[in-house]
A = this chain, B = another copy of it.
Amino acid sequence: MVGGPIGDPAFEDLTARARIRDAAIRLFAERGIDGTTVRDIAQEAGVSPGLLRHHFGSKEALREVCDAYALDRLVKIKEDLVFEGKVATPGFLPSVHPTIVLLYRYLTRALLDGSSGAAAMFDDMVTLSEQWISKHAPTVTEDYRAYAAVFVGMQSGMLAMHEHVSRALGVDIFTTEGHLRMAGALADFYSHPLLDPGFVTKARAAMEPLRAPNPPTATGTDPGAEGA
Contacts and interface: CB of A to CB of B under 8 A. Distances in A.
Interface of A: 1-4, 8, 12, 34-35, 43-44, 46, 84-87, 89, 92, 95-98, 111-112, 114, 119, 122-123, 126, 133, 137, 139-143, 145-165, 167-169, 175-177, 180-197, 200, 203-204, 206-207, 210-211, 214, 216-217, 219-228
9 contacts: A3-B222, A86-B206, A86-B226, A123-B164, A147-B188, A152-B165, A153-B158, A154-B157, A180-B211
A53 to B, nearest CB: 21
The 4 closest A-B pairs by CB, nearest first: A3-B225, A157-B157, A146-B185, A141-B188
A165 B141 CA distance: 17
Contact of A148 (B155, B168, B210): B168
Given A145-B168, A175-B220, 16 more contacts: A4-B225, A92-B206, A96-B223, A122-B167, A137-B194, A141-B185, A141-B189, A141-B192, A146-B181, A150-B189, A153-B164, A154-B158, A154-B189, A157-B158, A176-B210, A180-B210
Copies per assembly: 2
A211 B185 CA distance: 15
A35 to B, nearest CB: 7
A226 B223 CA distance: 56
Main DSSP-derived SS at the A contact region: helix
B183 A191 contact: no
A140 to B, nearest CB: 4
A177 B207 CA distance: 11
A190 B194 contact: yes
Contact of A221 (B2, B177, B200): B2
Contact of A139 (B141, B146, B192, B197): B192
A86 B228 contact: yes
B169 A161 contact: no
Q: Which of A122, A123, A143, A220 has the most CB of B within 10 A?
A: A220
